[in-house]
Chains A and B, each alone.
Chain A
Amino acid sequence: MRKLWKRTTAIVMASTMALSLAACSGESAANSQAGGDTATAEASSAGEDITLRITWWGGQSRHEYTQQILDKYTELHPNIHFEATPSGWDGYFEKLATDTATGAMPDIVQMDYLYVSTYAANNSLADLTPYMEDGTMDASTIDADILASGNIDGKQIAMPLSTSLLTVAYSPTCLEAAGVEEPTSDWTWEDFAAMCSEVHEKTGYLGTSSGPVDDTNNFNYWVRQHGEQLFSDDNKSLGFEDDQITVDFFNLWKGMMDDGAAADPDEYEQLLALGIEAGPMATDECGYYINWNNYTTLMANVNDNLKMVTPPQLEGGENGLWMKPGMFFSVAETSQYKEECAAFIDWFINSEEANAIMMGERGTPVSSTAREYLINSGKLTEQQQQMFDYVDQAAPLCGDTPAPDPVGIAEVNQAFKDAAYSVFYNQVSAEDAAASFRQQANSILAANN
């Protein structure tokens, strides 16, 4: 026994010694690489061949058309080549973090709202402001609020590619079967709850089958309707004082779940397992689904009858909607070709060539010229047309755009989900859950920001 312990200690010691060795080699590798890249960077300004590394997540079709876009760009700029790393969503951020850890972040990365603050806080992303100022990038086509979502601490570290707006998709077929009228923009949460119950009573289907607490977006909308903000200005705590807001939110959904009008966590997780295209909305076996405004486009393959309406109003509340960036392109701080990257991103966002291939697959394009081009192209499907129209429809209900989500948002989301589920599973009262969420969120935010 004692022998084995001794051995274990010896192993630990040996490995620790080995560490110093590893640290040295890691450093020298980084240095030599940086050296090599600088040399090529000088060459590139002379118009010589350079290769940009680019990575994104997506499904099969996105991989294919994005490669076409890259090929097109190389055709137009024969000295720019790409080394692409397409990926599924699973593992994308694990790979990106590991690459960044070793100083090998690809030059251009597709970035999600969830992580952009974290990468920005660690100075991993390049400030693109100089390229906007010198005309390499034309940001004038992008709505100022949405552009600001990629601006952290005065640095434009990410260029939004698309906008998303919270929406309630509904199945006219299902509502008709339940004898429920199609909702209009002025509906309230009470209307929503009543309609969901009605659907359930008349048809036996779920009124709504989306997950209201998977992240904090639905809750954020609710908090904003109460005239508050979810996070404080310094991102070190929650931005609202009154736990009653949280309690009401939990109780609203808990009530609907108890009525069978909304999917409880048990039902929801199982619907989730099928993927969105196999959920009950695909077969008109559910009334409503809260999601982003590209939802009907995604669903068009399986159900082309779905429509969208703005989310319910809070009686006497404020406008809570906001334009959320769908996804970003960022440039690595370590990239030696920042200017070339900026030029490519500008072309990707604004050009007709790129948008003609992309056809809004990444969501409603941020660039007004791209939107105009697509609308005039006459190639939009009915659902894509809906997605574009929705932006105008929602505009009057939008409030100020909130600051980008704080570092640690993934942990806050998890804490929020845990707190909400503890209410949904009847384990604690909504009051206790709200208090526990506040306490956890505050400690996460304080530790990360």
Chain B
Amino acid sequence: MAMRKAKSLQETQHYSAKDNAVGYLLMTPWLIGFILMWAIPAGMSIYYSFTDYNLLSAPNWVGFQNYVTILTTDTNFRQALFVTLGYVFVMVPLRLIFALFVANLLNKKHVGMAMYRVLYYVPSIIGGSIAVSVVWKQIFGNQGVIMSLLERFGIEQEYSLVGNPRTALFVIILMGVWQFGSSMLIFLSGLKQIPDALYESAAMDGATPIQRFWKITIPMLTPTIFFNLIQQIINGLRIFTESKIITDGGPMNSTLTYVLYLYRTAFTNFHMGYSCALAWIMVLIIGLATVLLFKTQKSWVYYEAQ
């Protein structure tokens, strides 16, 4: 809705020649990169998705065969889609709520704020390293802190959290939440944009901190929340590193994420054509989710500029 309205407004408008010139001048660097690094490669990968390309030999056209196989008989595809959607549905809300909570906490003027910001951001910068994979497996492993805690509370488990097909995804989700630093930063920069005057006048009207949070912070922050939501959903659907370094998709494919599956298909099993088909099905899914979200924008996102 929002987009259609904005668009129709623009369409009826006259574009000044100067605006067009300035617009394209500003867009030039991005356009060069887009054509060189995205449009051409994307076109090639669409073409590959209709072939049996295996990287080593020239591709042969197979029509829709890859797509048909994926949608009709590929059980790994279904498993990977299921795992990835489950991950996104649980991880994204948790991470955003946590990030918003901590960002709010850190947006006040206390001593040592800079230090806390560093502490909370650090997990995000050691995300994919071997150290994290070792530590994480240790903590959630059968001799780890978590298991001994559970035992102390009388919860005996046959397998560790990371080694149990039913709970392994939970460990990956927890890691996603733990790395809330980037969302937190974006919230922080969004909070910064809210004028203090709004809070001051609200405080004078006798609003409690909780009221101020719901009546001022949240509405003023909706563009940032919207950005974070889109960004986290897109990134969440493309989750790869965490499941690769911690569980490598196991046990029993319980953490086989979509991109891990297409990566394996392309580079371990040499079915690049098939992998490209998987990728474009995923782009469709992400695109659909994004379009739906953009559609809801009008009803809850508040832009100062409009």
Contact = CB atoms under 8 A, between A and B. Distances in A.
B204 interface: no
B252 interface: yes
A15 B55 contact: no
Contact of B39 (A18, A119, A273): A18
B46 A16 contact: yes
A124 B56 CA distance: 7
Contact of A408 (B57, B159, B160, B269): B269
Contacts of A411: 268-269
Nearest to B41: A22
B58 to A, nearest CB: 10
B271 to A, nearest CB: 9
Interface string A217-259: 0000000000000000000000000000000000000000000
Contacts of B14: none
Nearest to A19: B43
A410 B40 contact: no
Contacts of A3: 3-4, 7
A14 B39 CA distance: 7
Interface in A375-423: 408, 410-411, 414, 418, 421-422
A14 B43 CA distance: 8
A222 B252 CA distance: 23
Contacts of B35: 18
B137 interface: yes
B134 interface: yes
Nearest to B7: A3
B250 A273 contact: no
B43 A266 contact: no
A274 B46 contact: no
A357 interface: no
A118 to B, nearest CB: 6
Interface residues of A, number: 45
Contacts of B47: 16, 19, 23
Contacts of A122: 54, 56-57
A273 B134 contact: yes
Interface stretch (B87-95, B182-190, B222-230, B287-295): B287-295
Interface stretch (A33-41, A91-99, A142-150, A169-177): A91-99
Contacts, number: 117
A84 B245 CA distance: 28
A425 B160 contact: no
A266 B56 contact: no
Given A16-B47, A421-B250, A123 B269 contact: no
Interface in B141-186: 141-143, 159-160, 162-165
Contact of A97 (B42, B143, B270): B270
Contact of B252 (A12, A118, A264, A422): A422
Given A14-B39, A16-B43, A418 B252 contact: yes
A123 B58 CA distance: 11
A5 B4 CA distance: 12
Q: Select the residue from B41, B54, B134 with max chain A CB neighbours within 10 A.
A: B54
B250 to A, nearest CB: 7
B40 A15 contact: yes
A4 to B, nearest CB: 5
Contacts of B251: 265-266, 269, 421, 425
B55 A101 contact: yes
22 contacts: A2-B4, A4-B291, A4-B294, A14-B43, A16-B43, A16-B46, A18-B40, A19-B46, A21-B40, A94-B267, A97-B56, A101-B272, A118-B54, A118-B56, A122-B57, A266-B164, A267-B163, A273-B134, A273-B137, A274-B134, A421-B251, A427-B252
**5 closest pairs, A vs B, by CB?**
A266-B163, A122-B56, A19-B43, A15-B43, A101-B55
Interface of A: 1-5, 8, 11-12, 14-19, 21-23, 93-94, 97-98, 100-101, 118-119, 122-124, 264-267, 269-270, 273-274, 408, 410-411, 414, 418, 421-422, 425, 427
